[in-house]
């Protein structure tokens, strides 16, 4: 019990630490003048180091999120999942504005996409789980709503990953494919694919300001960010993925005679 409590506090502190480094570093990078040259250099080095250690942090926290033992029963896995969402979400602005080197950015994206792929897998496995997967304070088992995780992942992919100017073409395509995998099992996510295909080509206005977890908890539809970098490339992937998901959903509805997902 003490170890689980310590792990929970450590996850919260990890998110707070990363946010402090990101906010302070980006603020110092915006300073002008010769006096601010040294602080800008220090801030750039700190942000580079932060992005450099993110792959290792992703792997450590992912072990908790994917655990099948006591961590799963205690519900700590859900906090680990939320921590990963925050870590990815909070570090995307650094890739946009932090002057991160190409090699460090490539390692980050490789680890981030691998993490997102495994989180999608967890969401799909959780949906199919027949037994409860967490425990309440009174010790009684209770089920976790898997749709909430799917919604949070969908919001993260659309409002942050795909809306980030630093997201590579390959990363954008993989993010759309992950949306497709979620949409095949969660009808609440397929709306994001429709938004990607229908969003007009308009001037950039920035990424989503609300966190993915907060948007999922609100449960209401969030407008697609006006900016959609590499949108023409995304359409080549999003349209076939949307058609495939729609056909799969219709086939299941025809098979069971019900419109429920």
Please choose, from the candidates 12, 92, 28, 26, the residue with its C-alpha nearest in 3D space to the C-alpha of residue 54.
92
Total residues found in the chain within this entry: 261
Rounded (10°) CA dihedral 110, 113, 118, 123: 170
Query: What letter does residue 142 receive in the DSSP assignment?
Result: E
Taking the C-alpha atoms of residue 57 and residue 16, their distance in angstroms, rounded to an integer, is 14
84-to-115, 137, 226, 243 alpha-carbon distances in Å:
8, 24, 25, 30
Quick: pLDDT tens for 154-169. Answer: 889 888 898 888 888 8
Please choose, from the candidates 83, 23, 18, the residue with its C-alpha nearest in 3D space to the C-alpha of residue 213.
83
Quick: pLDDT tens for 172-220. Answer: 889 888 988 888 778 778 777 777 777 655 444 455 555 655 555 555 5
Quick: pLDDT tens for 71-100. Answer: 666 778 888 999 999 999 999 999 988 889
Return the pLDDT at 228.
58
**Range list of H helices, 32-145:** 37-65, 70-74, 76-97, 102-128
Least confident of 40-54, 148-162, 192-206, 232-246: 192-206
Structure token pair of residue 246: 């729609």
Taking the C-alpha atoms of residue 34 and residue 228, their distance in angstroms, rounded to an integer, is 36
Structure token pair of residue 54: 């993110």
Query: What letter does residue 160 receive in the DSSP assignment?
Result: I
């Amino acid at each position: 019990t003490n170890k689980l409590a310590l792990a929970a506090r450590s996850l919260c502190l990890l998110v707070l630490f990363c946010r402090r480094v990101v906010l302070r570093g980006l603020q110092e990078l915006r300073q002008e003048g010769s006096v601010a040259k040294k602080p800008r250099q220090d801030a750039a080095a700190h942000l580079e180091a932060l992005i450099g250690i993110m792959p290792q942090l992703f792997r450590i926290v992912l072990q908790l999120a994917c655990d099948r033992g006591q961590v799963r029963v205690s519900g700590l896995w859900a906090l680990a999942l939320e921590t990963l969402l925050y870590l990815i979400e909070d570090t995307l602005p650094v890739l946009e504005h932090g002057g991160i080197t190409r090699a460090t950015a490539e390692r980050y994206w490789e680890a981030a996409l691998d993490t997102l792929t495994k989180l999608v897998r967890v969401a799909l496995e959780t949906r199919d789980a027949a037994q409860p997967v967490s425990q309440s304070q009174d010790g009684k088992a209770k089920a976790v709503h898997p749709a909430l995780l799917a919604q949070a992942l969908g919001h993260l992919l659309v409002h942050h990953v795909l809306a980030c100017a630093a997201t590579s073409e390959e990363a954008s395509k993989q993010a759309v494919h992950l949306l497709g995998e979620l949409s095949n099992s969660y009808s609440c996510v397929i709306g994001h694919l429709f938004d990607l295909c229908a969003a007009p080509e308009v001037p950039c206005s920035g990424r989503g300001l609300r966190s993915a977890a907060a948007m999922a908890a609100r449960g209401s539809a969030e407008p697609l960010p006006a900016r959609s970098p590499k949108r023409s490339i995304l359409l080549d992937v999003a349209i076939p993925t949307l058609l495939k998901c729609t056909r799969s959903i219709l086939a299941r509805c025809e098979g069971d005679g019900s419109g429920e997902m």
